[in-house]
Amino acid sequence: MTNVSSRAQRCFAALSLFAAASAFAQPALNVSDRVMLRQVLQAMPKGGDLHNHLSGSVYAEYYLKYAADDGMCLDSVKLAITQCPPPQPAAATLPTTSPIVPAATVFQPYSSLYGEMLDALSMRQFRAGAESGHDHFFNTFGKFSAVSKTHVPEMLTQDVWRLATENVDYLETIFAPDFGSARDLLKVVKPGQSFSEMRTAMMQSGLVPPIITSSRAVIDRAEAYMRDNLHCGTANAQPGCDSTVRYIYELHRGVPLQQLFAEMVVGYELASADPRVAGLNPVMPEDSYISMHDFDDQMAMFAFFHKLYPKIHLSTHAGELVPGLVEPEGLRDHIRDSVMIAHAERIGHGVDLTYEDDAAGLLKTMASRGVAVEVCLTSNDVILGVSGKAHPLRYYLAAGVPVTLATDDPGVSRDDMTNQYMRAVQEQGLDYATLKRLARNSLEYSFAEGESLWSNHDYSKMATACVDTASSTCKTFVAANTKARIELRLEQRLRDFEAAWK
């Protein structure tokens, strides 16, 4: 693990003020100097990644390694990681034509399967043909799911370290640490029960507390492994040791309603019990049959739980849609309903904004309520084919809706946070001042606990306790408020970053 930050810093320091300043002042010039732009934006402290799926953040190379280490197999036709067949009697060995091969096969010399598997488990070298980018992207998750649930500590370490090397040191990563055990609650549900009756039955079953305990233990183990493997607290501490990580409980919008309800019971209870679990988010393709068909019922379920758990944060994937992918009616209200009915505090994607009923009114509402949008430029490009002027980013910015840039699934898309900033400059025409605001937004609109460092949202005035950031009052304040602490750290890092090229 090399220290990319210091390498970029050295390169960056060699740049002239004029070159760096003109790159930001005139983004059009930036397009011709990708090398400088990449170095500068990699070195720029970028705050947090608020939309990051843990399993989608891992590079396929690591999934193949996990599979080989575990003695698992690959289906060389379906190009998926799979369990090996049970041991055969000596006389009945596998036929040589079997497509199931040991995963370690891919590491042998001259194996073409290695590259084929990397392509299948990610967007590497993807060219749309019979399979769309949307389908290939979402299909990858099933191809590595046999190992993505059993290597959470290694995955978390990769995710946190990789982001830290590009100066992103706050992370909210989406995953379900109960690994599906919320489904156990379905056995106490009876047909025809109301939301309230279902929840009461589940809560009184005695099944919830052990799920919460085991989920918290999964996070404990992952964090301990990460600290150990990044050598935190030693002279050889790696990037990531100073990062702050929060977890977003992953709900599945493509499953039957009662199962989603059971997941909500676990998710809201887990977030109430463990401050590291900072909120919830429904995942899976928004355009799938169940996601579309059950959308209104799902919103009603969120409204029900919001009344019971008003302090638990919610971000929802909403508007990750384009015309033609769903019926026109499906484009009209997902963002609005997520905000108004489900009480989502942040929206993931929000790509179909211009097709929402009264989009201008929706923008006003989001701006006045401070509902942020997690903009994932690479993801929107490779899944939905939306980029450049077709992306609604500029409408959100013009309306004063808080925006952050996020990676979504950097392992699957084989991209990183720096490239989101690259795209923001080169494709969206954003200047440095706007990028800085987006970086600050990524902490201000995070679900990190505690009060903000800021007393306003244009970041011109700090909280009274931190008018003098070196004062003992401020030190006490940031020690008691995680959000203020990570925001002050970003300010200090931005100051150093900007001083480096002045």
Rounded least distance, CB 348 to Zn ion, Å? 5
**DSSP label at 66?**
H
- Least separation in angstroms between CB 232 and Zn ion: 28
Indicate the residue type of 330. G
Please name which of 103, 135, 140, 99 lies closest in space to residue 120, comparing C-alpha atoms.
140
Q: How far apart are CA 309 and CA 305, in angstroms?
A: 6
Is residue 250 within the footprint of Zn ion (CB under 5 A)?
no
Cβ distance to Zn ion smaller for residue 37 or 251: 251
Do residues 252 and 494 touch, judged by C-beta distance below 8 A? no
| Nearest residue (CB) to Zn ion, 269 versus 408 | 408
Nearest-angstrom CA–CA distance, 153 and 221: 7
Rounded CA-CA distance 102/357 in Å is 53
Cβ 356 to Zn ion shortest distance, Å: 19
For 85, other C-beta atoms within 10 Å of its C-beta total: 10
Integer Cα distance of 419 and 159 in angstroms: 16
Nearer to Zn ion, 408 or 444 (CB): 408
Among all residues, whose Cβ is closest to Zn ion? 408
Site map 381..420 versus Zn ion, x via CB under 5 A: ---------------------------x------------
CA dist., res. 206 & res. 209, Å (int):
7
Give which of 351, 438, 425 is closest to 390, Cα–Cα: 351
Cβ proximity to Zn ion, 263 vs 269, nearer residue: 263
Minimum distance of Zn ion from residue 408's CB (angstroms) = 5
Shortest Cβ distance from residue 412 to Zn ion (Å)?
10
Q: What is the DSSP letter of 427?
A: T
- Specify the residue, 113 or 121, whose C-beta has the smaller distance to Zn ion: 121
Nearest residue to 425 via CA among 442, 444, 405, 449: 405
Nearest distance, CB of residue 193 and Zn ion, angstroms: 31
Q: Which is nearer to Zn ion, 316 or 441 (CB)?
A: 316
- Nearest residue to 416 (alpha-carbon basis) of 31, 21, 20, 44: 44
The CA distance from 140 to 286, in Å, is 16
Q: How far is CA 451 from the centre of its chain?
A: 23
Q: Where are the alpha helices (H) located in 370-431, listed in sequence order?
A: 377-379, 393-399, 410-413, 417-426
Closer CB to Zn ion, residue 287 or residue 408? Answer: 408
Shortest distance in whole angstroms from residue 122 CB to Zn ion = 15
Structure tokens at 30: 């930036």
- The counts of H helices and E strands in the chain are 22, 11
380 versus 482: smaller Cβ distance to Zn ion: 380
Task: Tell the smallest beta-carbon distance from residue 357 to Zn ion (Å).
Answer: 24
For 74, the enclosing helix (H) or strand (E) is strand 73-75
* Close Cβ partners of 149 (under 8 Å, ≥ 6 residues apart): 179
Closest distance between Zn ion and the C-beta of residue 128, in Å?
A: 20
Nearer to Zn ion, 408 or 491 (CB): 408
3-state secondary structure of 220: helix
Tokens of residue 387, six digits: 């980029």
Q: How far is the CB of 317 from Zn ion (least distance, A)?
A: 5
Q: Least separation, in Å, of the C-beta of 406 and Zn ion?
A: 8
**How many residues sit in the footprint of Zn ion (CB under 5 A)?**
1
Residue closer to Zn ion (CB basis): 408 or 487: 408
Q: Closer to Zn ion by CB, 169 or 408: give it.
A: 408
d(CA 142, CA 148): 10
The answer to whether residues 222 and 153 touch, using CB atoms and an 8 Å cutoff, is yes
Interface residue list for Zn ion (CB under 5 A): 408
